[in-house]
Chains A and B, each alone.
Chain A
Amino acid sequence: MKSFSKMVYPYVVWAAVMIVVPMLMLVLYAFTVKGNSVLTFQFTFDNFIRFFSDPVFPGVLWRSLKLAVITTLICIAVGYPTAYAMAKLKPNSQAVAVLLITLPMWINMLVRTYAWRGILSFGSFSGEFKVYVGMVYNFLPFMILQIYTSLSKIDPSLITAAHDLGADNTQTFRRVILPLSLPGVVSGITLVFLPAVSSFFIPKLLGGGQYVLIGNLIEDYFISTGDWNFGSAISLIMAVIILISMYVTRRLDRYTAQEDE
């Protein structure tokens, strides 16, 4: 039986080469000078200094964060009532509703976003509005499904008990249902906020080229400009911000979990 443990070795090598090495290269590029040969590294912080000393780049970063935060808030505002209504359906209808929400997710994200271009060409909407529609459209299903899962786990007898003890509907919602569904909201936030920060094809497809986000910057520096060192530095800055926000949400998750006890 112990001999089975040898089956891991090929993947250890693969993961070292295909996952660890590429990440180390990204870090290496971010801290080196452009046009550097592999043999003579010249370490520098210039790429990072350049990012923060030019007002344009922090502005783009700020815009991406703002877009991700507002998208997440809209997803909660729309997703919560939807998940709530779903959880109140009959069990069979609930299964159908989950299927109906997952079905569009099987269709390629770009293809669905492209369709919005046509629909939104009916009126005269601003580029920013179109980007928000695209973002909410792509990320809302994740939020609904996460909140729905935590709502459907709530034991109905808890609600009956609250009513028996004299709580009205609003009180039952505020003191029983809402606290028990918060873990779903928190995991929904991770699934919406993190990909929203780095998204770059939604603004490109719907924003009409005017709406530049941090993901678009990275793409430009790698594909058009060819300044890979600066592009790597921007990616690293974004990865660190995402790591920090993930850490904060996890803390938040633990905090809400403690409140449950």
Chain B
Amino acid sequence: MEQKTKLHEKLVLLLVMLFFYLPIIYVVIFSFNSSKSLSSFTGFSLQWYEKMFANRTIMESIWYTVSCAVIATVVSTIVGTVTAIGLSKSNKALREAINQVNNLPMLNPDIVTAIGFMLFFTSLRIKTGFTTMVLAHIAFCIPYVILSVMPKLRTLDPNLAEAALDLGCTPLQALVKVIIPQIMPGIISGALIAFSMSFDDFVISLFTTGPGVNNISIYVYANVKRVNPTINALSAIIVYVITIVLILVNVVPLIRERKMKKNEN
């Protein structure tokens, strides 16, 4: 579908990009504002960063967000991968049933899933807090991991595992040495999806957490009533971290490729 790009089309692209990046530019600029104003830049200062690092609630919310995302990613990746491998060998009826059940949290609006968890935990008299939040995150991440591992298993040659078993591997060895390495790309992309879903989650966390346990999203939501530029500093730091990570992810392979080429020459 390649054709020559016209001028007005370039303009459309430019305007849309501007629309996407405007809030990000705004947050970074106003995180250095010397006054509390959200609409006029009065001078450069680092006070909001200082206030942010001194604010225990914000620091805790960052800690809760990161640790919840790490635990949810590790557990859901392991459980999701194991389940997907099992599903690839089980009968069609069970596979269909699990798919349908997994569709529930993926297709339902977040708020419906969240309320289900909340009713479930409180009816069992489980005190809501960090543990319930992590459990809910694991529950909504596993279906995505299964979804991303399954296609890799479908293209896997079943004879390979059989061959490993014939050559004297135990089933566990066949799993770890033959199957897992071949489906690794699926496992990694599943883990990435799980991490970003958990890290960004707001709705499910809001309904499954308890008093005193906030993640970044809940902190922002709870503090929007007042004018609070420390949120700009917090947002700006998220922008810096994500930009650095994405640059590393996209640039490092390029540099490595160049080096490899140089070595070949």
Contacts and interface: CB of A to CB of B under 8 A. Distances in A.
A39 B171 CA distance: 47
A4 B171 contact: yes
Chain A interface, >50% SS class? helix
A29 interface: yes
B120 A21 contact: yes
Contact of A22 (B3, B94, B107, B119): B119
Nearest to B234: A111
A107 interface: yes
Contact of B83 (A8, A78, A82): A8
Contacts, number: 237
B117 A7 contact: no
Contacts of B221: 110, 201, 204-205
Interface stretch (A40-48, A52-60, A231-239, A253-261): A231-239
A151 B162 contact: no
Interface residues on A, range: 35 or more
Interface residues of B, number: 82
Contacts of B162: 1
B217 A97 contact: no
Contacts of B82: 7, 10-11
Interface in B187-224: 196, 199-200, 202-203, 207, 216-217, 220-221, 224
B172 to A, nearest CB: 10
A152 B94 CA distance: 37
B26 A119 contact: yes
Contacts of A82: 12-13, 16
B120 A25 contact: yes
A74 B250 CA distance: 32
B109 A195 contact: yes
Contacts of B20: 100-101, 104, 137, 140-141
A165 interface: no
Interface string A3-33: 1111111111011101111110110010000
Contact of A159 (B3, B13, B101): B3
Interface stretch (B42-50, B235-243, B256-264): B235-243
Contacts of A106: 196, 242, 246
23 contacts: A1-B89, A2-B89, A5-B86, A8-B83, A19-B101, A20-B104, A21-B120, A26-B112, A87-B1, A100-B20, A106-B242, A108-B220, A109-B200, A110-B221, A111-B231, A111-B234, A118-B30, A121-B39, A177-B1, A204-B221, A205-B224, A218-B111, A235-B111
Interface of B: 1-5, 9-10, 12-13, 16-17, 19-24, 26-27, 30, 38-39, 79, 82-83, 85-91, 94, 98, 101-102, 104-105, 107-113, 115-120, 123, 135, 139, 142, 158, 161-162, 165, 171, 175, 196, 199-200, 202-203, 207, 216-217, 220-221, 224, 231-232, 234-235, 238-239, 242-243, 246, 250
